[in-house]
Structure 1
Amino acid sequence: MRILVVGAGATGGYFGALLARAGEDVTFLVRPARAAALRERGLRVVGRDEEWILEPGLVTADELNRTYDLVLLSVKSTGLERAMADLAPAVGLETAIVPLLNGFAHLDALNARFGPSAVLGGVAKVVTTLDDRGDIRRLAPLAHLAFGEQDGTVSARVERIRAVLEGAGIDAPVPGNVLTAMWHKWVFITTFGAVTSLMRGTVGEVYDAPGGPALGPALLDEAAAVAGAAGHPVPEEERAATLAVVSASGSPMVPSLYRDLTSGHPTEVEHLFGDLTTRARTLGIPTPLLDLATLHLRVHQRRVAAATTGA
């Protein structure tokens, strides 16, 4: 199976490294600067008392001239439009695109560009980050990629992809409804992101402050109400798992959105929060806390944009 991984960051780079280490035919589509860094240092996965150094197959957009069987799309939502243009030459009649983004707006964009038959749903769960040297730092052994056809069928290509992923040590379940799984991840990531970004603190710092324990459940109630109104109710075990993450005394956990926020980088506010609150209004679901988190992140986004343009 010819595999193209679009992006070689903390998520795509990690899954791609696992596949390459297992001997799969993997190529990374990256920007020229990232390609130069990877050629110099190799693709490194570090942490948890081990280090892998791979010499990855690399291609930049101007060099892409063949189609692939599987495309793992792992970019920030802010780079989605450019990524779709870059990867277009890789998409043939039999290509399966598995996006690893959170939220739902990317699925609409990919369906419009490549057709729903080419696009699968995907839910990625890893605990990795990209360090200052561009290495992928693994903070936990989790490597989970749930995926499936948008219509819920278990096709021959899904079975083939699952075998390849599992052969590389990736947990690759095929849920009965991958769109529901995507909604549930969306509920989790917005709850987690809103708790930490609104309060500008780690989960533990928020939870241990007076009044802090009430915030996580309140945000979860709002996000879950939107998912339920959209036809994807969050089961009690999923709610409990989310609450266990956002209601933990002393926990140092923060999502990547929080790291982007506190580092002065752009965030995925519109893709994750703007889209969710817009859908909430369409569905008639009040989301005052999520609206507040959205506004907070939008102010940050405008500040970052102004600093970048000098306006």
Structure 2
Amino acid sequence: MNILIVGAGATGVAVGVRLTQAGRDVTYLVRTERQRILERDGISLTEPDGRHSVSAKTVTADTLTGAFDLVIVAVKASAIAAVMEDIVPAVGPATVIVPFLNGIRHIDLLDGRYPGRVAGGLIKIVATLDERGGAVQMTALAEITIGSLGTEPMPRSVRQLLDVPGLAVVETDEVWLRLWEKWAFIASAGIVTCLFDNTVGRIQEAGGLRYIEAAIAETEAIASAAGYPPRAAAHRQSINILAEPGSPFTSSLFRDLAAGRATEAEHILGDLANRARELSVTTPLLDLTLVRVRAAELSRQRP
């Protein structure tokens, strides 16, 4: 059985290296420039236990042919529209598409384009790219959660393909709940760190704990109104991460913003704000953060 990983960013590389090491047939769908680098240097993963390097099989959108058993989508939200068209040759009648993006909107888009082929997926991993394009995993956590989005069960082959050393795979009947829980956390992390332009430890030191708690309450209220109230364990995890004294934690949204890169603000925060209005949930901190991030994005586009 074969696997197509769409995107060779930190998440795609970290997952792909482990799958390749376990003998899985992995191909990366990348752009031409990235293809040249991967074919020349291979692909690597640096983790707390050491560094691993493997060769990389790659294709570009114009050379992609033949259906794959599993398509893993691991790109930024801004690329999802192009990805939906690029993967057309890879999606056959038995293909399963598992996206590892934050939020929900990408699922609506993918399922609209490939009805019945999309499964729910999320990954918990702290990783970035090094200067040579390899993945650097900063903690031991690498957990994938998958589940059927409808009434049909998840094909057993998907878990079997993903269940390799170094990746913990959780299959659940409540994947929509898990997706909303992660979205609520990612959004609250983005609100706190982008609004106050700092790490959660310094925000607390400055007296911001009540705003951290308020941001979590806002995003969880939206999830609850949508029919997916976060479990107590998920709430505790959000508090533990975002209210840890002295923590250097920042959100990926904040890091992109600080670096002057394009952000996933509309996918993570904008879509959530739209759903909040539809559900009549008041979100003052979310709304303020959106103005702050949108203004920064305008400055980036028009210096």
Q: Give the structure-1-normalised TM-score.
A: 0.94
- Alpha-carbon offset, residue 153 of structure 1: 4.4
Residue 203 of structure 1 contacts residue 246 of structure 1 at CA under 8 Å; is this kept in 2?
yes
- Alpha-carbon offset, residue 205 of structure 1: 1.3
- The farther-off stretch of 261-270 and 247-256 is 247-256
Residue 152 of structure 1 contacts residue 176 of structure 1 at CA under 8 Å; is this kept in 2?
no
Deviations 1:131-180 (A, max 9, x none): 2221211101111111111025433x1x2211221234321111222111
Q: Give the structure-2-normalised TM-score.
A: 0.97
Return the alpha-carbon distance in structure 2 between the equivalents of residues 47 and 152 of structure 1: 37
Deviations 1:227-248 (A, max 9, x none): 0000000122211110100001
Pairing of 1:135-284 with structure 2 (within 5 A): 135-151=134-150, 153-155=152-154, 157=155, 159-209=156-206, 211-284=207-280
Specify the SS of the correspondent of 2:120. Answer: strand
- Is residue 2:124 matched to residue 1:125? yes
**Paired position in structure 2 for 1:75:** 75
Pairing of 1:59-70 with structure 2 (within 5 A): 59-70=59-70
Equivalent residue letter for 1:137 = V
- Alpha-carbon offset, residue 280 of structure 1: 0.2
Return the alpha-carbon distance in structure 2 between the equivalents of residues 133 and 256 of structure 1: 20
Return the alpha-carbon distance in structure 2 between the equivalents of residues 240 and 177 of structure 1: 19
Pairing of 1:79-98 with structure 2 (within 5 A): 79-98=79-98
- Alpha-carbon offset, residue 37 of structure 1: 1.4
Specify the SS of the correspondent of 1:151. Answer: coil
- Is residue 2:14 matched to residue 1:18? no
Q: CA separation of 1:144/1:152 partners in 2, compared to 1, >3 Å: closer, same or farther? A: farther
Task: Return structure 1 stretches of 4+ with deviation > 4 angstroms.
Answer: none
Residue 47 of structure 2 contacts residue 140 of structure 2 at CA under 8 Å; is this kept in 1?
no
Return the alpha-carbon distance in structure 2 between the equivalents of residues 271 and 297 of structure 1: 12
Percent identical: 39
Specify the SS of the correspondent of 1:44. Answer: strand
**Paired position in structure 2 for 1:287:** 283
Return the alpha-carbon distance in structure 1 between the equivalents of residues 6 and 52 of structure 2: 20
Return the alpha-carbon distance in structure 2 between the equivalents of residues 139 and 206 of structure 1: 23
Specify the SS of the correspondent of 2:112. Answer: helix
Q: CA separation of 1:200/1:306 partners in 2, compared to 1, >3 Å: closer, same or farther? A: same
- The farther-off stretch of 269-278 and 249-258 is 249-258
Q: CA RMSD in A?
A: 1.2
| Structure 1 residues without counterparts, runs of 5 or longer | none
Return the alpha-carbon distance in structure 2 between the equivalents of residues 152 and 169 of structure 1: 30
**Paired position in structure 2 for 1:114:** 114
Return the alpha-carbon distance in structure 2 between the equivalents of residues 192 and 153 of structure 1: 33
Specify the SS of the correspondent of 2:46. Answer: strand
Residue 152 of structure 1 contacts residue 178 of structure 1 at CA under 8 Å; is this kept in 2?
no
Equivalent residue letter for 2:179 = M
Residue 199 of structure 1 contacts residue 206 of structure 1 at CA under 8 Å; is this kept in 2?
yes
| Structure 2 residues without counterparts, runs of 5 or longer | none
Return the alpha-carbon distance in structure 1 between the equivalents of residues 68 and 102 of structure 2: 23
Q: Tell me how many residue pairs correspond in the alignment.
A: 303
